[in-house]
Structure 1
Amino acid sequence: MIDLPRWGLGAATLGNLFTAVSDETARATVDACWDAGVRYVDTAPHYGAGLSEERVGAALRDRPREEFLLQTKVGRLLVPGPGAGRDTEGFDVPDTRVRVWDFSAAGVRRSVEESLGRLGLDRVDVALVHDPDDHLDDARAGAFPELLRMREEGLVRAVGAGMNETAPLTAVVEEFDLDVVLVAGRYHLLDASAADGLFPAAQRAGTAVVLGGVFASGLLASAEPPQDATYRYEQAPPALLGRARRTAAIAREHGTTLPALAVHAAGAHPAVASVVLGMRSPEEVQHNAALFAEEVPLQVWEALRREDLLPAGLVVPGEGAA
């Protein structure tokens, strides 16, 4: 199993996810991560149609290469786009490059080579098959075996998969010798479904679990969730908003905050090796570093348990997994 840092930078934001970030701010964000001790960066060709990889590489290529872990993904190749409009997949970038699905062995090799070109680096440490949910047969036949061959050849140190849904992740963990899986939005203060099948499978296989989306795409990101808070990138349902607000109130009663609870709960399960957080400014980096450094009182978890505010399967600090 590869040794992953406690937390890292999820660099979709640096590909202009939803909102544009300047080159200067993107660079300052990576630099702030470095200053905060962050040595793990997760990117992908999908993020900004290559922009995230370009920015991450520009910020890291003068850093000592042995001091950081770089993770990117395969499954989408970038090809020339029309260049007359904007990206249609959630990133504020021009459509000069568009994505095509390709989970073939040749596509995986080409993807890694082209990622290295955008990054300007000589290697990536971790390569994940990205979002193969609807292409599992192709990924099983091509992408996963090819990544395993590339690991044997020493071209990458570790391989795995990144998805939002836990069932297909569990299936590939049980089928292939994977080092890492990244699951987004399925293990946090409101939803611990990844603990049902994926975490036990990963522990049996010796596969490290990385979490994304621990702020539930916004609902858990503020000390007081606003009325228009989002959950899974849509308006948060009233019941979940109320639950998050009650959790935030209990956090305040114990001298802490909802976002601090979110990051500490995320990393408490023994299957979880690391958490990646999307950050788009040095201020967000400093804020998140402070959350991880905070001493959260154990009494707050007891109070949340008493009010049945924690999902079944969630392991919090001070507890052990069942």
Structure 2
Amino acid sequence: MQATTAFSTNPIPGKYWQWRGHNVYYVQAGKPQPQRPPLLLVHGFGASTDHWRKNIAELCNDFEVWAIDLLGFGRSAKPKLEYGGNLWRDQLYDFITQVIGQKAVLAGNSLGGYASLCVAAQRSDAVPGLVLLNSAGPFSEKQPTAEPEALQAQIEPPQQQPEPLQKLLGDVAKWIFQQPLAQFLLFQYVRQKRIIRQTLEKVYLDKSAITDQLVEEIYRPACDRGAFDVFSSVFRTPQGEKVDILLKQLTCPLLLLWGEADPWMQARERSQKFRQYYPELTEHFLRAGHCPHDEVPDQVNSLLRDWVCSVVMS
């Protein structure tokens, strides 16, 4: 029988860093390793540093590990800004250079993967290696982008319609969700604990990983002042740089970890796109959903550790 690791459910104490006048929350574990780069873990939409607890607890035995709440999420401030790849790219880059103080391997899930890719591609001096776990972000052609679109799809399920009518309905739905009242009602709906749990049940393959604690960790920041402004900004703000453009700018080693049961990201199809623009990458497909680091942390931790030690440090 394969042994599994018992992971602590206790929150990891963190600190705050002032960035552009706003409080940014982060956690740090493990000691600096002279021969190994530190790791910086970046969560997805609606998540936080809490989502990496199972990874930090194990990886800190081999690396100095950092995790950060992107501005607008978790315990970080939620000011009224235009949220997008450029903002989070600058936040992560400044955190690496000002707080960590040396190059760091970035590992990001979903939206955090897209933000991490922006840093690695456009601020390459700070990132010796990049790990993407079911990474979001648009390609130049129409591709799955991020969880907000998936949430919209859950509320307005696709139906079999003639193509012109389907396009018209899609345009109407997009216009509706750009209206402030519709955004507010949608926000009130999706932040309910029962809806959070239902959403997780759709994107997690291992339902036992969906605990009351996980639901609470996603629900709590959604009640913070400014949370609605962050949510509505996702609909207002133009999409950032396309993933294929970023991949053409990327020069560091790239590891892709796919939870192949993810209904939001067509992993096998999306993988081909990444390989088309960055063929020298390494990738693994795991029996998991949208958040493989939380569902199969033992596998993710092992693959990440081995890759950093054999590829990034070689």
Query: Shorter-normalised TM-score: what interval?
Result: 0.3 to 0.5
- Structure number with higher helix proportion: 2
TM-score normalised over the length of structure 1: 0.33
